[in-house]
A = this chain, B = another copy of it.
Amino acid sequence: MRSVSEYWSSAARRAEPYAPGDQPGGKVIKLNTNENPYPPSPKVLSALREAVGPDLRLYPDPTAAKVRSTAAKLYGLSPEEVFVGNGSDEVLAFAFQAFFHQDKPIRFPDITYSFYPVYARLYQIPVEVVPVTEGFAIRAADYYRSPGGVIFPNPNAPTGLLLALEEVASIARENHGQVVVVDEAYIDFGGESAAPLVRQYPNLLVIQTLSKSRSLAGLRIGLAFGSAELIEGLNRIKGSFNSYTMDRLALTAAEAALEDSEYYSEICQKVIQTRTALLNRLEELGFRGTRSKANFVFAAHSHIPAKEIYEKLKERGIYVRYFPAPRINNYLRISIGTPTEMDALTAALADIVQHPHA
């Protein structure tokens, strides 16, 4: 429906929903939404099986106390410094409402997670869009002394580029009185989390997800780490929206996943190795990729348009992501799959590159 309904509020009228990547069914190679190619930990699956029972008739713990306390231990924090939400997108939405203002612009990069402008539009938060460099790098100093706060992913999406921890710290330090949100959805694939810095910077909020490195996209679990006053700010919005955002099974899976660091380190290492191999292979095929520290690569071919490659891959049942946006419309974002999936991808790419007009 494209027309406007007389029943819609001004919020519903101005909303421009985020378009997630396709979720095709059937037998395809799905490299378009940065899912982990490896299954969740066997310990997660067995905890879930055990939790399926009559207790599902009862409300979950609205404070997610166990998950908060397990997550806190990862970074030497206390449970009061942790928030749990229904995917990091929900946590981001709460952060926009809790810390950003309708009369003071926030800053984020021009090339970044495309949900940020969607939130800003819904919550009527003005924005200052800051261009990344020619090589897509975020320059920390561009974010100092922001009028109303800062948000950026680290590593950035869809470029995969990582900002060093000292630079992240400098942005927090140089934004006295404003909140700096670092969206670490992809941090476990080669970065170092800023979560331990939240004691030093009470204005720093670090958001993570169990969707990527913990292979739990299907269960919607997001985390935030911050000073107790920032976490209380999130709780005030959450408690005015939905008392029980996390269901019993998601809470069970979250706790088990956060406890099984060994399994997840291992699969993250495999993803990192596959990423290196893929980037090498892509270079041989005439692509130029960024130095991604995420579970995807971001690459452009020397002479074949990204849109053409995207469509030809789709015809062959291989889904990658293509963004028809300024500066990046000649790039493809390709999630790291299993080595077998990467072989199928590079074989298809070799064929497309060799027969560009077929």
Interface residues of A (CB under 8 A from B): 1, 5-12, 15-18, 20, 23, 30, 33, 35-40, 44-45, 48-49, 52-62, 86-87, 89-90, 93, 97-102, 118-119, 121-122, 177-179, 202-203, 211, 215-220, 228-230, 232-233, 235-250, 253
Q: How far is the CA of A122 from the CA of B239 in the complex (A)?
A: 10
The residue on B at minimum CB distance from A63 is B23
Q: Which of B23, B203, B246 is close to A59, meaning CB atoms less than 8 Å apart? A: B23
A48-B52, A219-B248, A237-B12 known; A18-B243 Cβ under 8 A: yes
**What 10 additional pairs, Cβ within 8 angstroms, besides A37-B57, A39-B54, A86-B245?**
A8-B229, A9-B101, A12-B98, A15-B236, A17-B238, A18-B239, A45-B52, A56-B253, A60-B217, A93-B242
Copy tally for this chain in the complex stands at 2
Q: How far is the CA of A102 from the CA of B249 in the complex (A)?
A: 37
Closest CB in chain B relative to A241 CB, distance in Å: 5
Q: How far is the CA of A8 from the CA of B179 in the complex (A)?
A: 9
Q: Is the CB of A59 within 8 A of B242?
A: no
Q: Is the CB of B57 within 8 A of A241?
A: no
The residue on B at minimum CB distance from A249 is B249
Q: Is the CB of A57 within 8 A of B86?
A: no
Q: Is the CB of B40 within 8 A of A219?
A: no
Q: Chain A binding site: helix, strand, loop or mixed by DSSP?
A: loop
Q: How far is the CA of A253 from the CA of B56 in the complex (A)?
A: 10
Q: How far is the CA of A241 from the CA of B246 in the complex (A)?
A: 16
The residue on B at minimum CB distance from A7 is B179
Q: Is the CB of A60 within 8 A of B218?
A: yes
Q: Is the CB of A57 within 8 A of B40?
A: yes
Contacts of A54 in B (CB 8 A): 39-40
Q: Is the CB of A118 within 8 A of B217?
A: no
Q: How far is the CA of A101 from the CA of B12 in the complex (A)?
A: 10
Q: Is the CB of A62 within 8 A of B23?
A: yes
Q: Is the CB of A56 within 8 A of B244?
A: no
26 residue pairs of the A-B complex, CB under 8 angstroms, read: A1-B229, A5-B230, A7-B202, A7-B233, A8-B98, A8-B99, A9-B97, A9-B98, A10-B101, A12-B98, A12-B233, A15-B239, A17-B235, A30-B58, A37-B57, A45-B53, A49-B52, A56-B216, A57-B215, A57-B216, A59-B218, A86-B245, A121-B240, A247-B247, A247-B249, A249-B249
Q: Which of B1, B58, B229, B245 is close to A5, meaning CB atoms less than 8 Å apart? A: B229
